[in-house]
Each structure stands twice: as C-alpha cells, then as structure tokens.
Amino acid sequence: GIKPNKFTYSTAIDAWAKVKRVDKVQHLLQKMYKQAAIENDPSLKPGLLAFNGYLVALAKTGRAEEAEALLSQMEDLYDSGDLEERPSVISYSTVIDSFARSNLEGASMRAESFLRRMIDREDLVPNAISYNSVINAHVKSWNFEAAEAVLREMYDNFLNSGDMEIRPTIQSYSSVISGIARSRQKDSGERAERILEQLKEMAQSGDLDKPPDVILYNSVLDCWAKSSSTPEMAARAVMFLEKMKNDGIFDVISYNTTLNCLARAGKVHDAELMLEDMEAVGVYPNSITYNTLLSAYLSQSSQSRKSAEKLFEKMRNDSRIEPDVVTYNTMLHFHSRIGDIEKAESLLKEM
C-alpha cells in the first residue's frame, strides 16, 4: 500500500490540532519517529510544520507551559541538526497565543517575553499577529497600560520601517480600547479618543486594514461612560456622541450608552431629551433604551412617577417594541415600594 510521508502526517497533525486533540497529535508525531527509524530515513522525522501543529494544539487547550517547553525542545533540535528549519514567527506567535489563552499568573508578561526574544533575534521579525496576541494577553490580565505600550511600539515600528507585516490592525486598537474602558480610570475617555484619532489618520492614509466601524466608536464612547458617574463626564460622553453623528457612525447602542451615562449622573431630563433626539435622527429605541430611562425616573423623586407611567404606556402601545421582564420588574418594584399593591398585582397578572 501507499505509505504516508512527512507532508501527509503534517496535514493530519494540523487537522487534529485545530480540534484540540493533543493526544492524536502526539500519537502521529510518535508514528513519524517510528517510521523514520524502521525505514532508516531521517527525512521522515517531524519537521517544523508538524511541530508547529503540536504547538497550535497546546495553545488551543491553554497548555502554555508545555508549549514553552516544546519551543525550547525545537530550538535544541535545530541546534543539534535534528530539525532542518529553525522555529519561525509562527512558532513564537503560537506560544505567545498560548499564554494569552491561559490563566497562569504573570501570563501576559511571559507572552511579552517571547515577543522580546523574537525582536532580539536577527533572523526573526514579529508580525501583527505576534503583537496582537501580546496585546490580548495584557488586556485579559488587566495590564491595560502594558497593552497600550505594546500598541504604541507596534505603531512606531510600523512608521519607522513601513513594514506592512507589523501594521496595527483594527483588532489591535479594539483590544486596547476595550481594556481602557474596563479600567474605568478618569482619563479613559481622553486616552481612547487619542487612539481613535491615530486610527482615523491611518485609515485616511490607507494604512489600516479597514476603516473604524461603529463597534470601535462605541467602545470609545464606553470609555467616557465608564470613567465616572459625574455630570462632567456625562457631558463629555454627549460631546463624543455628537462627533459620532458628525462622522455618520452611530447606532442604538451609542444612544443607549449615552442615555445610561446621563441617567447615572442624575441628568434625567437630558436623558429624556436623548430619547427624543434618537427618534429625530431615525434611530429607533429598543427595550434597553426604555428600561434605562424608566429606572432613571423611578430612582428620582415621586414627581417622576407620572413620567415613568407615561413612558411605560408609550412602550406598551408601540407595536415595534414590547415591555420585557426587566420592564415589568422595574415597574413592580416601584409600585411595591410606594405601597400601590393593587397596581403591582395588576402588572403581575399582565405578565
């Protein structure tokens, strides 16, 4: 019969790696070594392609330390002449990804250490995947400033070299901005906006894989919204929403984020005006919009009761939207709190 060759084995290893079957990958590697020994043919031993497949399997299953050990083994095999090709950018990037996926202590700094090893090697140049994996690792580990620093380095290296392989991508920026939003620091909005401006410049000069979209703009808006609950920050969120409208990039999430920010800052009247503005620009409110405003009304004084009731009726009479369980729970809680048991029972039956 036809015997499998190195390419056959490597293809099978790649397939098993993608579905996280480390055991199958290990078995095939053993078979390659066994066949090479039986036929006395060193060329049948696993090559870089097969080992990279093994690294992928380990990375996908979060076995970062095993991937690190395998990379060291691959370096040793190359030095001894038992591996024809030296571990590549793919090899190193896969180990970086394995630490990004793991929950090990200090995982993100260990991921970055492999990026530094790549940079120190004259024959290896990290690519965008390498950098993005380190950025993702830092964001996952809440090392947001480190993620921002790696993005700056990536951008500077691209500007200085013009190497398209290390060009920051939308993913690079999105990851860092999402991390900044999670940090909830007072300067989060300003930092995110600076990054967006850099991104827009890259898009205009054709140096970005795709232009910034509404998801990314909403992430920047989220940075303003989460930085604090003060009226000042709410005003900055409104200002950024205006920029989004000027750029023609906004949706219902943009409005809901801003409305929630205003509500948390106690600017209920401004939140109310935001609902009117939505309808004026053709963005249709959803249940989240109504529920946010309802909660805002009901957290205020008793004078807001009529506004809440009016909004609830508007929601019930709108054929394009239905009150959901959050809506009813909000109204039930309010009526129970003020002792209107009959109204609470009526709502309960309506559900």
The set of residues, in sequence order, having a beta carbon less than 8 Å from that of 21 and lying 6+ positions away, is 57
Q: pTM here?
A: 0.78
DSSP 3-state of 40: coil
Q: How far apart are CA 23 and CA 169, in angstroms?
A: 35
pLDDT of residue 221: 94
pLDDT of residue 42: 85
* Residue whose pair of structure tokens reads 């993913």 in the numeric block: 171
pLDDT of residue 317: 82
Q: What is the pLDDT of residues 287-340, one digit of tens each?
A: 899 899 888 888 776 667 778 888 888 888 887 888 888 887 887 877 777 777
The set of residues, in sequence order, having a beta carbon less than 8 Å from that of 22 and lying 6+ positions away, is 54, 57, 58, 61, 63
Q: How far apart are CA 123 and CA 307, in angstroms?
A: 68
Rg of the chain (C-alpha set): 28
pLDDT of residue 303: 64
CA distances from 25 to 36, 43, 76 (A): 17, 19, 20
Least Cα distance to 84 among 166, 24, 10, 12 occurs for: 10
pLDDT of residue 99: 93
pLDDT of residue 301: 63
Which residue ranges of the chain lie beneath pLDDT 70? 1, 301-303, 344
Ordered by where they begin, the domains of the chain are 1-160+169-181 (1.25.40), 229-283 (no CATH), 285-350 (no CATH)
